[in-house]
């Protein structure tokens, strides 16, 4: 489990769980990523890395726990980022996270369309 102080502008996953039938893909993951930090998710196939990222991006809903990107849900963060990129005042200077998240979302969706292994994206 990786944790750090809560600060404005962070990515915060709190006690995430996700099951697929009897398979517990993610069990109580808590991660805090602050500006300037880099985090790598390492583990064998089936460890829940891709599922955790999917929950962070809003592509999969956790069974329990919360995801916060700059104090908002993933959907709210993407919308606020769009506003910031379009000249709005939402999170000026922090649009990089939206671009990074959008890049990952786009790559994962393209992988699904072309039936590629999304764990590699």
CA dist., res. 106 & res. 56, Å (int): 14
Domain at 11-120, CATH homologous superfamily: P-loop containing nucleotide triphosphate hydrolases (3.40.50.300)
pLDDT of residue 85: 53
Give the list of residues 6+ apart from residue 70 with CB closer than 8 angstroms, or none.
8, 9, 10, 11, 77, 80, 91, 94, 97
pTM tops 0.75: no
Per-residue model confidence as pLDDT tens digits over 35-57: 777 788 888 888 898 899 889 88
* Token pair 């915060």: residue: 12
Question: In whole numbers, what is the pLDDT of the chain averaged over residues?
Answer: 75
Provide the 10 A C-beta neighbour count for residue 79.
15
């Amino acid at each position: 489990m990786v944790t750090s102080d809560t600060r404005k502008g962070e990515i915060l996953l709190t006690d995430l769980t996700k099951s697929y039938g009897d398979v517990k893909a993610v069990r109580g993951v808590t991660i805090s990523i602050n500006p300037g930090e880099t985090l790598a998710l390492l583990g064998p196939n089936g460890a829940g890395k891709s599922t955790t990222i999917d929950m962070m991006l809003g592509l999969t809903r956790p069974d329990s726990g919360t995801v916060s990107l700059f104090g908002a849900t993933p959907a709210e963060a993407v919308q606020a980022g769009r506003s910031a990129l379009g000249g709005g005042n939402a999170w000026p200077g922090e649009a990089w996270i939206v671009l990074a998240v959008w890049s990952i979302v786009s790559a994962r969706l393209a992988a699904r369309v072309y039936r590629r292994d999304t764990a590699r994206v």
